[in-house]
């Protein structure tokens, strides 16, 4: 909590790491190692893990995306170099474009909804009485804690055609109202998860439900860090609630919001588990997103690892472009 509140004010007050060379030399004698070696010894294990499990595979992925890797190559036959063939093949594939559209549209809608709902709930939590807000926090934490696969299972059940509660609830609406909104009154047996469009509605509901709690709790932590004098001053000046929110809360929470936005984009861009459960494995090609498309190409028979890797490269580049802005901002403004 305290950490977050310091960001809200934009200040950093962590102790700065050791820089005096004199002290380091003195310590070195006691431990038997030259002082300058120690930090390197400490980071070597972590560095090896990162290099071996993340960086090297990243390079391999790029290499594979220019190769033909099928069953024979998985068994050990050297792979053939095919140049940019995998990429041209993908760009010609309709499924790639529908996957790209699904990925981007889903991310934009979900990030927006999550941020708006999360901010609203965070602000609400800040206004509720202590006991009430503690209760609501426990409630939303229990939604956030549900594992992604179980989230998918739960919403698949709620959106079930026959015994699902969503159809039951829609049937409760007065017929004229349902008719006016959706052009139909009877929802019994509506198979939400068969059609890509309604499948994505279910996916959006599922992901927003599971991810707004994190935004809400983070916004609440940020709000707690804003000095109450500012709000008192605004109140004395007769500022309306909306104006106070726009002129005081938003600017002060800007750093928190930028982190939350980026984290949400990263998480929602590559949503996999929930989609996998909701559409019952990689079955409906029109409902693929890029992660699912890459997975299906590479691991459904016949395995086409080369094209799978090319899709993964495109997904990674997209994500890095979106997040580069954020990384630059951290590197520039924060004391690393």
- DSSP lists the bridge partners of residue 80 as 68
Q: Of 95, 109, 113, 150, which one interacts with other proteins (CB under 8 A)?
A: 150
- 4 lies in the site for other proteins, by CB under 8 A: yes
User: Cα dist. 186→160, 171, 335 in Å?
Assistant: 15, 6, 59
Residue 179 interacts with other proteins (CB under 8 A): yes or no: no
Residue among 109 and 153 whose Cβ is closer to other proteins: 153
Q: In what helix (H) or strand (E) does residue 166 lie, and over which residues does it extend? A: helix 165-172
Compute how many residues bind other proteins; rule: CB under 8 A: 120
- Does the protein bind other proteins through residue 141 (CB under 8 A)? yes
- Tell me: does residue 103 bind other proteins (CB under 8 A): no
Residue with Cβ nearer other proteins (28 or 109): 28
Of 269, 94, 288, the C-alpha closest to 200 is 288
Do residues 166 and 158 lie in contact, with contact meaning Cβ atoms separated by under 8 Å? Answer: yes
Q: Which of 201, 200, 204, 224 is nearest to 212 (CA)?
A: 204
Site for other proteins in 257-296 (CB under 8 A): 259-260, 262-263, 266, 269-270, 272-273, 276-277, 280-281, 291, 294-295
46 interacts with other proteins by CB under 8 A = yes
Span 295-334, contacts to other proteins by CB under 8 A:
295, 298-299, 305, 308-309, 312-313, 315-316, 319-320, 323, 327, 330-331, 334
Token pair for 294:
């890459």
Query: In this chain, which of 95, 104, 113, 124 binds other proteins, going by CB under 8 A?
Result: 124
To which residue do tokens 């279910």 refer? 202
In 3D space, the residue among 270, 288, 269, 268 whose CA is nearest the CA of residue 278 turns out to be 288
Decide whether 200 or 307 has the Cβ nearer to other proteins.
Answer: 307
User: What separation, in Å, do the N-terminal and C-terminal C-alpha atoms of the chain show?
Assistant: 20
163 near other proteins, rule: CB under 8 A:
yes
- 331/16 Cα distance (integer angstroms): 16
Quick one: 180 or 303, whose CB is closer to other proteins? 303
Binding status of residue 236 toward other proteins by CB under 8 A: yes
């Amino acid at each position: 909590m305290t950490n977050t509140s310091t960001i809200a004010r934009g200040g950093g007050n962590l102790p700065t790491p050791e820089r005096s060379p004199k002290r380091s030399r003195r310590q070195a004698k006691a431990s038997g190692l030259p002082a300058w070696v120690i930090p390197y010894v400490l980071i070597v294990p972590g560095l090896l893990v990162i290099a071996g499990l993340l960086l090297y595979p990243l390079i391999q992925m790029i290499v594979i995306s220019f190769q033909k890797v099928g069953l024979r190559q998985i068994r050990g036959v050297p792979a053939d170099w095919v140049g940019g063939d995998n990429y041209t093949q993908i760009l010609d594939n309709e499924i790639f474009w529908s996957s790209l559209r699904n990925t981007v549209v889903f991310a934009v809608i979900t990030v927006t909804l999550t941020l708006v709902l999360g901010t609203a709930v965070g602000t609400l939590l800040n206004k509720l009485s202590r006991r009430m807000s503690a209760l609501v926090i426990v409630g939303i934490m229990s939604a956030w804690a549900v594992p992604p696969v179980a989230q998918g299972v739960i919403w698949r059940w709620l959106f079930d055609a026959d015994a699902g509660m969503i159809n039951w609830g829609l049937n409760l609406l007065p017929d004229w109202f349902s008719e006016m909104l959706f052009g139909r009154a009877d929802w019994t047996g509506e198979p939400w998860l068969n059609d890509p469009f309604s499948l994505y509605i279910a996916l959006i509901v599922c992901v927003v439900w599971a991810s707004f709690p994190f935004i809400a709790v983070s916004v609440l932590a940020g709000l707690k860090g804003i000095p109450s004098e500012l709000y008192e001053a605004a109140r004395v000046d007769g500022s309306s609630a909306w104006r106070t929110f726009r002129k005081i809360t938003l600017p002060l929470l800007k750093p928190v919001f930028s982190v939350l936005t980026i984290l949400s984009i990263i998480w929602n861009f590559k949503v996999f588990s929930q989609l996998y459960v909701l559409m019952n494995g990689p079955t409906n090609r029109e409902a693929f997103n890029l992660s699912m498309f890459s997975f299906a190409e590479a691991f459904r028979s016949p395995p086409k690892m080369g094209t799978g890797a090319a899709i993964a490269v495109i997904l990674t580049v997209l994500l890095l472009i979106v997040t580069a802005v954020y990384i630059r901002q951290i590197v520039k403004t924060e004391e690393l």
